[in-house]
Amino acid sequence: MKTFQKLLIIILFVHYSCSDETTIQQDNQQLESNLKENVNVSSRAGLKQIGTGVMMQAFYWDVPAGGTWWQVVEGKVQDWSNAGIDAIWLPPASKAQNGAFSMGYDPFDYYDFGQYNQMGSTETRFGSKTELQSLISNAHNVGLNVIADIVINHNSGGDLEPNPYTGTPYYTDFNPLSGNFYRSNADFHPNNVHSNDSGGFGGFPDLCHHQAYVQDWLWKRSNSVAKYYKNVIGFDGWRFDYVKGFEPWVVREWKNAVGGFSVGEYWDGNAGTLDWWSGEAQASAFDFACYYRMRDAFEGNNLNRLNDDMLWKRNSSKAVTFVANHDTDEIYNGKLLAYAYILTHEGYPTIFYRDYEEWLSKSKLNNLIWIHNNLAGGSTSILYTDNDEYVAKRNGYNNAGLVVYINNSNSWQERWVETNWSNTRIKDYTGHSSWEPVTQGGRWVKIQVPPKSYSVWAPK
């Protein structure tokens, strides 16, 4: 079947424009050149170490169409780096079925970043390949890692073809103009490997990762999707979409083949399940358990829920914490309090673009990012909780640590707490309190916090 498809594509290429043929030749030349250089993501010079700062989700659902988004983000990378961001997460960057209108989660041609005229457009919703590479280059110049959103559970945009395994035609005939990774019915479920698959999503054709051909094109070949993203486009790491749809070994094998930071979207509020997936995939996971407990705490006015199980409490090195993302935004009234929580606690925190650039106080978020990067070291000890108040301390690691006091009530609160410091003058690094108390010889001190707010205390 694939031999027939390749012959068909050669015939069809005759009808494509000279500009598309030139683009294909240029892409192949660039790929060959970069593969010879053997670029290694893990040792790319001058980048910040991922996890030492904060990740920025550099998009939201339905960002403006028109091919300008890569330029918008490029204009912000210097300020983000200055603020303490160490990585930016971009939306799915390759051509999808809806062309210039797609957010990228319906992938068609993994090698078209806005340089081929197919699916109704040349550019993607976000811009051209040249603009994407310019963005990545400038992000690298200011020390930022660039995380690719990888959608490999399903594809979209194929032509209708017979399926000998079901007897029913389906849209599994993929003939991408890039000339790479043609797909047919054997590459999707159901096929000769599996009669069915539990990972279906939205009715899209569901890739079969057990097929050697699919593995080769996704991560094994010298010009695989993974290696093209890394060596030609310049990505440094991976955010895997909808990892519930396929086994965790797929992420593990991808990472082993190309390296780079990896985080999976396993949408489940059970911390044990997230911990299991992270261990099997040998990758980080978004801490949905933390997200849901924060929603219950700040929206449900019960800060005792912050005592509950979360991935960061089980394995902080693999927990990517977040308050909002492009799919969900359920924390409203207490959103800044939630950011105060994740930016003072363990885990690798993520900030949502619209929260930072549009909806919340950028100065307050910058302050919390600074606190995270400079004070929030070591293990965490919860000191006090009730419905309205939460106090915890970081015990310090190559820094003094901190005490964070979160108040969800409508009045000022005060509390005696045991700190890490004896006979030490401390201050609130948020500026919300003007107190500068001195801790007792036994490390106890009284601290305060404004209504519906937070304070963060450390040695002056």
- Contact (CB, 8 A) for 124 and 108: no
Q: Which of 278, 216, 222 is nearest to 252 (CA)?
A: 278
Helical (H) or strand (E) element with 311 = helix 311-314
- Contact (CB, 8 A) for 280 and 249: yes
Q: Under DSSP, is residue 376 helix (H, G, I), strand (E, B) or coil?
A: coil
HSE toward the beta carbon, residue 33, CA cutoff 13 A: 8
DSSP for residue 131: H
The reply, when asked if residue 173 is annotated as ligand binding, is no
The reply, when asked if residue 153 is annotated as ligand binding, is yes
Q: What burial letters (b/e) apply to 127-146, b meaning 16+ CB within 10 Å?
A: bbbebbbebbeebbebbbbb
- ω into 164 cis (within 30 of 0): no
Cα–Cα distance, 438 to 418 (Å, whole number): 12
Long-range contacts, 23-30 (Cβ 8 Å, 24+): 23/115, 23/116, 24/177, 24/178, 24/179, 27/111, 27/115, 27/178, 27/232, 30/232
Q: Which of 424, 419, 423, 422 is nearest to 456 (CA)?
A: 419
HSE toward the beta carbon, residue 43, CA cutoff 13 A: 3
Active-site residues, by number, are: 241, 265
- Contact (CB, 8 A) for 226 and 236: no
| Beta-bridge partner residues of 161 | 170
Residue 242, sorted as left (phi over 0), alpha (psi -120 to 50) or beta, turns out to be: left
Handedness of CA 189, 190, 192, 194 (dihedral sign): positive
Binding-site residues for Ca(2+), in ranges, read: 153, 388
Q: Can you say which residues are annotated as belonging to the binding site? A: 153, 388
